Structure 1
């Protein structure tokens, strides 16, 4: 390591200003000497100018931050692993703790996350089963986000089983190499825990895990469990026509604490009941005497002893001497205070430039670039129209600096720039994805609010709040408009299906009314006889006229349905792409089949005019019926693929829907032999998918939540006390 270094060497480039300053001082001195000569005075020497220039050089050197006596320090992180186990059963919705047991528990975890600095945290939720929402991590922002998602719908089914949560912790979160460095913080009302306490204690003792139990709820009077329906109305949970009252199970939690008390890691039960509690203070009281794990990092940094202040002191002394006027040049004797004031004014100007140009940093990384460089890179990406990459760079800058080390103005500036990036991303997605755009705009609004909170005088951030709120309202209105259009299109499709069903029924009834001519025997066919040779019914002319007219009316209905289908197809087909490729019609196959239906109806109306061609007319009617059935099946399959909107109460109902009956299998096997149906149900070429990674993740998240809700409904009936 170099024993002497300038930690900001580029500042030395300011020494180039020494030459124009010397020229300006020389020119000013010459003009002053001319005035003094005209007034009978003596010329002033150049000593004062040289003193000022020397002070300027010393201040520039101080600005470059000279350092001596370097030594290297390494980065280390110390802390314990803290696993928050949160009860999200319905009994935690009771409002005897403000605002509810669940929200009080979540607020306690939030306070702990805000106080933690080096601890790794994880979040496990449980009711009838357990889920790991957040693995062990130092990313407290992610833990905050996942904590907001914790609710009774996030688990598979109701109940209260702490044992399942402990098994999740043992199998997935507890690390053997950190034995004795791990704690579990359980926040629960303790209902339905007693029968599993022995097993839970055995697992905690085996892995030497510390336990902090926080009991929530009124242990005496208890509280009813509110249930809010989709319309916002509140009712209370009943079991066997009786209101359910849930109470804090003090005895069960005390027993669990007693069973685990002999562990070296310790155990403590805090009956918070309905009172407020400070979870970080409670945890630090329990963990204050426990060992912590230390991890040495590979990165290191060099620390230099700053000597810039010595140069500043010498520069101030030179300025004081330079501002002192010789007695031979004085007309009025200045006081010592005026001399000091002049020197202080000059020094203040130079020091103001010093402070505004650079911050007094005490560490220079030996392996990583300066965080200021990361901020400049992020700002460059933002100005170049790359808001996504700029956000990543800003996050990297904040991670390296640490939120605590950033001053309020610096944090406000960071949040303001992040908000601008989110607004740019929202504007880019506004047309195609208004929901994503609204989410990004709300994120930008939150960043502007944080900027205003960090620096109340930050006017730029405050001025962006109203336009951002207006954007959110516009996106919300656009989303509502799209939802209305979707409902309208769904209603049109439903009306179309109903008209097709009515057309199929009417066509079937008319086909059944048309008598089929008698079949010829083999001997009659060998003799060359035809159906025309048989005798016609007495009312053949009248029936032919009626059949033809009714078939013509059905043909007109088929044409009307075809026109309606074309109108719907134009509305739901996406516009032409930028590459001028023709978009794929979403109703391409139903439209083709409907054209065949109308053609078959037209031929049937012609054939039914004469008795001897009734047989051909019946065949065309049958063709039209089969095509309509194929259209209905295609539309039904499309609606099923659009989304699983149907709900079922029992898992057996779902399984029964998936199993085909014998009659259905026979019908399917017979359909496979019909040529028209087989050709109509052939696979169509699919367009190339155009989904982003974010779209896939959002769709999968929605599907996961839906499946969890359905499993919860199906298993709810199997749990006697599912609160």
Structure 2
């Protein structure tokens, strides 16, 4: 740990300019003295050497100040603090009901906005759900960004209608919250409780396993309820109907109370149609809960800034050089005045707390803890009005935020590609902000091109994934049609086989020896019919075998990329495949029985069993259709692609990804043109594109959901 350091040591080379500056000043002084001598002027008018010396000394101080010297190093330890809060917002169409003003959904949004105004050190995230769940905003200290994404929440912002709280809780525990923060994470659920797939015990179990706190805000009229206003295809306001009857939605107070009672650390607030302050509710809920973690063993060094004092001293010397009279004691007076100015300036300019926290974030970034580093940068940004920061330093802060977001995007690219795309957009916005604040800072400009290519690559991969999903849907539809055709052929063959060629077994047992049952004679065409029936059944069984192979191929194609060599979650075709094996075994047994006229009756029973099994498969595929589409279109976890890796041939990529975004800039880099577009332009365009894609996907999936509210 050196007592003095320079943040921009390369700029000390500017000291070489002092030599030509001294030569020019000496030449100008000599020529002035010669002119005065030729004019016969008094010796007292001749230029003294001291003003020139003061100027050279002032320029020296300015060059040293530009190199940003630091002194009096101090070592500090790293710590982190704050709770994580995820807002889980119900955006099903029942939330459009207007019993709460102006609607249940808007009342819930206003509650979230109020809570964000109360937050200080909490990280906030946003998950929306209906029949499926989407992550609109990962955990962040940027509450303005949470508010921005909250404006995007609407009923068509998820793939499927309906209401399933379990999908939202699984999304939170699987993709947003981390195990190392157990006991410091809370979910705030805002819903009317009208859950079409109630599974409160499973939700409560997930909350217990991850030690999550839960606040449930019940919104809506629990007694009379309200109708759901929607727009028809002509854009007219109508009310939602189901099976020809008007839909009335009510607050499911009983179900939400049951959920709160099953969870360990839960609170339920039945708001109904009244106003409420969610920030106050949350503050009272966490009043006795931990709000900070433990201090770490890692340390970092912070230097006091000396540049401001040197600049002040240089300005004083330049001022004195213009008025100074050539007397020996003048330099001592100037030095004394400059020292007094420097003492006050350094004390005011030095901000060890800010430098300490910036160095802490830098160290977290270099250790690969990008999420924690970004959180620390965000806290620093929120406190900028209270700090003496320059625009160039704020630009560096923004640039480092962008680097953290890109690293987080890379970490989430496999399981959460859409989240990674959102983080890449945030990184792009951060680079643009840094470039606008400091046009001379070249590194953000060099990162813009690579980030734009990365975003374009993400979008192309998403489109490819959507095309694969559509192809998968077509294959599923073909499978269903083949199963229906197989069921039809099996039913036709069963109807063609004569029923009961002999009396039932029970009836035969009831016959007494003295009164034997009449013997049923075998038809003359029995042999020909047996062969014909057996051949038809054998062909139907072979078609069942082909369908089973198609199901197995489709099941393998459904595996997410990268899970082929490790254990993957059970797919939706696991149960249908089991039933299909039973169908084939039943058909094989029926084929054997049809070869003999006496067992036609038992063969018909096996055929009927095969028909029932095929119907069970069709029912399973119909019930799992919405869940499968959710996992293939948004989750999976869901679409997978890899982030671009920095190569050795790309100096801007390799240097930036190493986290070397300190207060210095690389003078060797060439300047690039300043972008002529703003962060707001990019966010506005992406907002429109996102809403359009969500609405198109939701409208396409609407037919697959029975209760789309």
TM-score category by the smaller chain? 0.3 to 0.5
- Select the structure of larger CA radius of gyration: 1
TM-score scaled by length of structure 1:
0.46
